[in-house]
Amino acid sequence: MLDNSRLRIAMQKSGRLSDESKKLLAQCGIKINLQEQRLIAFAENMPIDILRVRDDDIPGLVIDGVVDLGIVGENVLEEEVLDRQAEGFNPQYKTLRRMDFGGCRLSIAAPRDFDYTGPECLKDLRIATTYPHLLRRYLSQYNVAFKTCLLNGSVEVAPRAGLADVICDLVSSGATLEANGLKEIEVIYRSKACLIQRQAEMSADKQALIDKLMTRIQGVIQARESKYIMLHAPTSVLDQIVALLPGAENPTILPLTGEQNRVALHMVSSESLFWETMEKLKALGASSILVLPIEKMME
């Protein structure tokens, strides 16, 4: 029996979100041995249990209060919510934050020779998809009725197999569509992974652990999006240098030993530094320009 006092987090066992989910928890300092093919993994250094399941099961586990937190694609979450609402329920959960991974779009795609002029063209066609509710919500805005062919995998082969006229499926690069003779005609939903929490109030201990975890997740994601920039620059052009740097409101300026007219500048930037900007900095007289990754941040 699982210990109810430990925080339960559901994540995808294997698939497109599992590596990033695992990495995020590890970077937050949670020590888990996920090597074994086990459904449940126990953290060694914190009262946390990880449940490893199919991504489709994660929203339901959180909504039903079986687990405390879940990491899942917004597409899967939203589809589950719409499904439960269609059944007359009122699913409840809290979104804690959007992640910086799992980005994809749910798109309608048609055979390359399909003459597409707008959503109205799809009237009464058969559309193969795993996301019937998201598709219906989108097309109902245009009063377009359609027939569904519900598939849980290999959606992209449906038109070639004669199962459907067009498809509605997840796309990231578009290479799978291309390989199956399809073209993207309409983006209906943009998704990323997100962290959700069950609605019911937590015990004070669990809530404190969630708050701590959220601060760490924030620190990890913010650090991934930031860079530490160091350079040497002539004091006379410092204003111009600072103007070129993204988010350089408060750079640290340090003296350089034996140099009267040059200083060192250190700063955390919310963006990476492009080669073009580095070339401009150099042209202004900057030197020793270093752009370093940041591992962790806490503000």
Note whether 10 binds ligand ATP by CB under 6 A. no
Note whether 180 binds ligand ATP by CB under 6 A. no
Q: With contact defined as beta carbons under 8 Å apart, do 72 and 195 qualify? A: no
Beta-carbon contacts of residue 197 (< 8 Å; ≥ 6 apart): 62, 68, 69, 93, 94, 95, 96, 210
Query: How many residues of this chain bind Mg ion (CB under 5 A)?
Result: 2
Written as one letter, the residue type at 75 is N
Distances (CA, A) of 1 to 4, 5, 40, 44: 9, 12, 11, 18
Q: What share of the chain is helix, strand, coil (3-state, %, to 5)?
A: 30, 30, 35
Pick what 286 binds: Mg ion, ligand ATP, none; C-beta below 5 to 8 Å, kind-dependent.
none
Note whether 225 binds Mg ion by CB under 5 A. no
Q: With contact defined as beta carbons under 8 Å apart, do 63 and 80 qualify? A: yes
- Scanning 52-60, 83-91, 114-122, 241-249 for contacts with Mg ion by CB under 5 A, the matching segment is 52-60
Q: With contact defined as beta carbons under 8 Å apart, do 106 and 168 qualify? A: yes
Instruction: Rule CB under 6 A: choose which of 6, 16, 84, 224 binds ligand ATP.
Output: 16
Distances (CA, A) of 93 to 74, 160, 188, 198, 213: 13, 39, 23, 5, 18
Note whether 68 binds Mg ion by CB under 5 A. no
Which of helix, strand or coil describes residue 244? helix
Note whether 102 binds ligand ATP by CB under 6 A. yes
Instruction: Rule CB under 5 A: choose which of 43, 48, 55, 107 binds Mg ion.
Output: 55
**Helix axes of 74-86 and 132-140: crossing angle, nearest 10 degrees:** 80
Considering only residues 182 through 211, tell me which ones interact with ligand ATP, judged by CB under 6 A.
191
- Scanning 53-61, 137-145, 203-211, 235-243 for contacts with ligand ATP by CB under 6 A, the matching segment is 53-61
Note whether 56 binds Mg ion by CB under 5 A. yes
Note whether 108 binds ligand ATP by CB under 6 A. no
Note whether 215 binds ligand ATP by CB under 6 A. no
Which residue in the block uniquely carries the two structure tokens 């708050």? 211
Note whether 57 binds Mg ion by CB under 5 A. no
Note whether 83 binds Mg ion by CB under 5 A. no
Note whether 172 binds ligand ATP by CB under 6 A. yes
Pick what 17 binds: ligand ATP, Mg ion, none; C-beta below 5 to 8 Å, kind-dependent.
ligand ATP
Note whether 107 binds ligand ATP by CB under 6 A. no
Binding site for Mg ion (CB under 5 A): 55-56
